[in-house]
Chains A and B, each alone.
Chain A
Amino acid sequence: MNLDHMYQEVILDHYKHPEHKGLSAQKDVQVHHINPSCGDEITLNLSVSDGLVKEVSWDGIGCSISMASASMMSGLLTGKKSSEASLILEAFMELMQSKGTLQGDENLLEDAVAFAGVSKFPARIKCALLGWMAYKDAAFQIQGK
């Protein structure tokens, strides 16, 4: 199993230079998620208006996979319609559950298709999903408001 399938250049690049990191004052809801098996943590602020994801910002500590994934997720979802963001979230989750059998839809996921390789490593799927699950939770909470 080739390690480079997991540690794609674009992933390590996001890890070293994360986007939307640092919690924005603009928020409708804040969630805090942890991965109890490893101790990785993320806090995510989400603001939504008129059916648009206005901003996703986050802060956290964790491995390259969890942090890079949170970075890509926040860049990808900020500015999208909430309905589009849901589709992207679903596509990413499907990709991560694919055990390496899917390439990922580049039109929807853009750079996040780089995580296709991570889906071959069962122990790391939760890492890649940490930020996305935080977004899902935040979006769900806003719907309920």
Chain B
Amino acid sequence: MTLDTVRIRKDFPIFERTVRDGKKLIYLDSGATSQKPNVVIDAEMNFYRFHNAAVHRGAHQLAEEATDAYEGSRKLVADFIGAQNDEIVFTKSATESLNLLAYAMGNSDPGARFALLPGDEIVVSEMEHHANLIPWQQLCKRTGAVLKWFSIDSEGRLDLSSIDSIISKRTKVVAITHQSNVLGTINPLENIVARAHEVGAYVVLDACQSIPHMSINVVNLGVDFLAFSAHKALGPTGVGVLWGRAELLEDLPPFLYGGSMIETVTMTDSTWAPAPKKFEAGVPNMAQAVGLGAAVTYLSSIGLNEIHKHELSLTSYLINGLQNIPAVRIFGPATQIMRGGTVSFAVDEIHPHDLGQYLDSQGIAVRTGHHCAWPLNKKLGVAATTRASVYLYNDQSDLDALLEGVLGAQKYFSRFS
């Protein structure tokens, strides 16, 4: 074990409680949302208690402090992913970040840089979360553009064998997930980015499942836009990030109009503030953004490389354990190579909801269902799966409990036949 999980768990007050009549909480659902350390809870609370005021307006001390805290958080997030401050747009979620991008592109004047014409193409993959599929699917419907996608192979990896025909001269956007929220697969970006840029397409990365778990530098990745949510990375709910290269954000039209995002306004026309303000209409989610700043500071203090190593070791342990249980089928890569700490599986004929219910009775929290990736489930040939996802506060004892829980469920549901 590379991380001191006993010490780390002390930072997370939720682990002081028990569930289901006194059972220890075994939290294996961080892929849905992570738990929050005290530093994040305190940062959000203290903003309200001591500094609350509307940012970027007001001539008083509180407004100054609130603005400093909010903009300070922007800098922390920028440093966290190797970006410039003005490239960080705060949204309410990763879902909003991706929608913002799709709608802003759709708002482009004809002939403008991001405008889509009928017959232009947008490329996604079969393993996308609905949040990185539907905005593009619907943008295609609105503009007459054509949606194309990479399929996946039997191991749950992207099939890039036809990359040169899937990403074509008509491709304007390639929107792809960095790590599958179902399979755990980490996608190789190098070839995709190279091919996309060769044809002049923009690469949009859904980094929701990767940013919380590995060290990421947007410049090194070479992508053009990137979206993630705070709440999967120890931060509060209600705040997400859209990162875009500065020169792209400059040309991208706004999506939401209103206060804060303008430069000048008359009764008949308006001009826009420079990014990121252009994309942050209204009083923003200040306390949540400040909480996100505390979250990335905390993550950096532990070390993203250490976290990733820790999770890989847990993932191997879990996959080995599951493989040793008869009638368990794992979806996604069974190796440690290019995968993260999300493992989806099926057990015999036990429906995931029933398995999840049994595990819950043992204090074990997992996700069951289609994980907002319905097309992927159809491809896998299952209506639903059970998903365990690990984070920095999990240890082997959590996984032992899960493995024992799976055996217990097999016994419980085999009572009748």
List A residues at the B interface (Cβ < 8 Å): 1, 3, 6-7, 9, 12-13, 16, 37-41, 61-65, 121, 124, 127
Q: Would you call B351 and A62 a contact (CB within 8 A)?
A: yes
Instruction: Name the residue in B20, B370, B383 with the highest tally of chain A Cβ atoms < 10 Å from its Cβ.
Output: B383
User: Secondary structure at chain A's binding surface: helix, strand, loop or mixed?
Assistant: mixed
The CA of A63 and the CA of B20, in the complex, are separated in Å by 22
The CA of A64 and the CA of B412, in the complex, are separated in Å by 13
Identify which of B189-197, B316-324, B352-360 touches chain A. B352-360
Q: Would you call B416 and A3 a contact (CB within 8 A)?
A: no
Tell me the chain B residues, 334-381 only, with Cβ under 8 Å from chain A: 351-354, 357-358, 361, 368-370, 374, 377
> B370 touches which one: A38, A63, A124 (CB < 8 A)?
A38
A-chain residues with CB within 8 Å of residue B383 when the two chains form the complex:
38-41, 61-62
B292 at the interface (CB under 8 A from A): no
Q: Would you call A3 and B384 a contact (CB within 8 A)?
A: no
B-chain residues with CB within 8 Å of residue A12 when the two chains form the complex:
413, 415-416
A-chain residues with CB within 8 Å of residue B357 when the two chains form the complex:
3, 6, 121, 124
Total residues of chain B contacting the partner, CB 8 A:
21
Contact indicator per residue, chain B 373-417, by CB within 8 Å of chain A (1) or not (0): 010010000011000000000000000000000000000110111
Q: Would you call B369 and A1 a contact (CB within 8 A)?
A: no
The CA of A62 and the CA of B354, in the complex, are separated in Å by 10
Extra A-B contacts (17), CB below 8 Å, given A3-B412, A12-B416, A38-B352: A1-B21, A3-B358, A3-B361, A12-B415, A13-B416, A16-B416, A16-B417, A37-B369, A38-B368, A39-B369, A40-B383, A40-B384, A41-B383, A63-B353, A64-B413, A65-B353, A124-B353
The CA of A31 and the CA of B368, in the complex, are separated in Å by 26
Q: Would you call B361 and A1 a contact (CB within 8 A)?
A: yes
**In the complex, what residue of chain B is closest to A121 when comparing beta carbons?**
B357
The CA of A12 and the CA of B20, in the complex, are separated in Å by 22
Distance (Å) between the CB of A111 and the closest chain B CB? Answer: 14
Given contacts A38-B368, A39-B383, A41-B383, contact A1 B354 (CB under 8 A): no
